[in-house]
Amino acid sequence: MSLGRIGQQAKQCLKNRFEYQHLGAFVPSPSHVESVFEDCRKADERHDNGSPLSVIDGQLIAIKDNICTTNQPTTCASETLQAFYSPFSATVVERLKAAGAIIAGKTNLDEFGMGSHSVNSVHGPVKSLGTISASQRSVGGSSGGSALATSTRQCFAALGTDTGGSVRLPAAWTGTVGFKPSYGIVSRWGVVAYANSLDTVGVIARSVETAKQVYDVIKGHDPRDPTTISSLTRSRIRSQLSYRPRNKNLRIGIPREYLLKELHPSIHKHWSLALPFLRRKGHSIHLTSLPTTKAALAAYYVLAPAEASSNLAKYDGVRYGKKAPNDRDKSNVLFSNTRGHNFGAEVRRRVLLGSYTLSSTAIDNYFIRAQKVRRMVQDDFNKVFAMKHPLLQHHQEIPSSILTQEDKERMGVDIIITPTSLNLPPLLSSLQSDNENNDPTKQFQEDVYTVPASLAGLPAISVPVPCKDWQQVGLQVIGQYGDDEMVLDAARELEGVLNDAAGGAA
């Protein structure tokens, strides 16, 4: 069968997948090459007839393996779901297929999305493109498989899930773009839950434009998911956005609390170098303050495990999951051994932590206080953004045309730009459980820059800084809730600035 343009693109992606299969980006699954080429043939015909279903018609999109699909297993990289086939596909998968996209396969991840390095997987770790095993570095987590598959051109783009940075951190460490929309903009129906109030389906792509193309397909209200915002609320957000005049020159905030002494010098240098280039484009830079940032990470690691301990209670070998060989312990307690046997170390750690913080003796000191910190984080962002939170009640805004420059200074910024990660990607060997210097709790600090936006439900995107070799750096753009288009536009501007700067340096 002769292949058209789209078929040739798919053929190259599949060739790359075979070449890089040892890196573990995709989970093992039944081959479906023939159906892929058949779908490509149909897409080529639609393009030739001038009637493509969408701009991504015929493109291969990889799906993180905690997002349900009917024709391939959904394992969540866990022993307990090794043989699980979902009877339905997630809403985001259905929307991709309706737009003509072709599912490239399921990508590897940290078990149930719990981790920052994509090493906590029953399928094995996701590995970077090191020439020898000793030089292989972390690709970030938990959506590391989606990020690596995209960066090595095994697919056009990929879906991931972002709970506290699981799309943005892997994007930063693989030189790709990682976009987390505002919470509730994209449906979570069919996504295996880690932390319901934080989980957000995001997009990983090789450019901001591609990320936007995929995002435009998957967004929208879903009546099956009560956490997606309604069509009426979306209309209200659009109305508020239209009231605000769009100025091509942005007011960019730099939070002083993000200038951490632990920040890697190379990342700090790239962050600092990008700002003068943005200023030359006509944008203004303003120092802002997000004081509760210091407590955000601790609050996240109370709230997320607490929700996880509840969500994972059903994997007992009775309702869901594979039953352990000896499923009763010495006290004859059903499913005790199943949960201990089938969950990995990191999942067990977080379930235990979450169960404790929800206990009657600890809930006031931990969970309730963490919820209060979360509200304070949201309030901090609301104070620094010029646009008011569209879901909160406000007094009538003063028209921008009658404001003085001093008034505008007090009103806040349009976006915030920060680093995506605290460090450069570490060596995989340093993350192995048998390494005496490996401390799982130290891995939590990699989320310090990404967690605040997750707690506040804000749109955020990681844009790669062109770097040599393994020194991958990403810069993060954060916007007000519902202002996803502004974030994407600003990211596109930042992407151009970083590419121009790299070209000038060369």
**Backbone dihedral angles phi then psi of residue 470, each to the nearest 5 degrees:** -95, -5
Catalytic-labelled residue, pool 64, 127, 219, 388 = 64
Distance from C-alpha of 442 to C-alpha of 374, rounded to nearest angstrom: 22
Phi-psi category of residue 142: left, alpha or beta, with phi > 0 → left and psi -120 to 50 → alpha? alpha
Residue 142: cis peptide before it, omega within 30 degrees of 0: yes
Q: Tabulate helix, strand, coil % of the chain (nearest 5).
A: 45, 15, 45
Integer Cα distance of 63 and 26 in angstroms: 9
- DSSP β-bridge partners for residue 417: 477
Query: Catalytic annotation on 230?
Result: no
Q: Is 64 a catalytic residue?
A: yes
Q: Where are the beta strands (DSSP E) in 389-471?
A: 415-419, 460-465
Q: Does the annotation mark 166 as catalytic?
A: yes
Residues in the chain: 506
Backbone angles phi, psi at 3, to 5 degrees: -105, 140
Q: Which residues of 259-287 are buried (b: 16+ CB within 10 A; e: fewer)?
A: eeeebbeebeebbeebbebbeeeebeeee
Yes or no: say if 328 and 337 are a contact pair by the CB < 8 Å rule.
Answer: yes
The number of CA neighbours under 13 Å toward the Cβ of 245 is 10
In the 8-state DSSP scheme, what is residue 57?
T
Backbone angles phi, psi at 250, to 5 degrees: -90, 150
* Closest listed residue to residue 25, CA positions, set 200, 154, 181: 154
- Separation between Cα atoms, residue 409 and residue 284, nearest integer Å: 11
Distance of CA 60 to the CA centre of its chain: 19
Single-letter code of the amino acid located at 250: L
Rounded distance between C-alpha atoms, residue 482 and residue 183, angstroms? 9
Catalytic one among 166, 187, 309, 454? 166
Distance between alpha carbon 334 and the CA centroid of its chain, in Å?
A: 36
Dihedral, 360, 301, 453, 228 alpha carbons, nearest 10: -50
Q: Rounded CA gap, 225 and 202, in Å? A: 16
Q: What is the DSSP letter of 251?
A: E
Of 121, 142, 146, 462, catalytic: 142
DSSP letter assigned to residue 257: G
What is the set of active-site residues?
Answer: 64, 142, 166
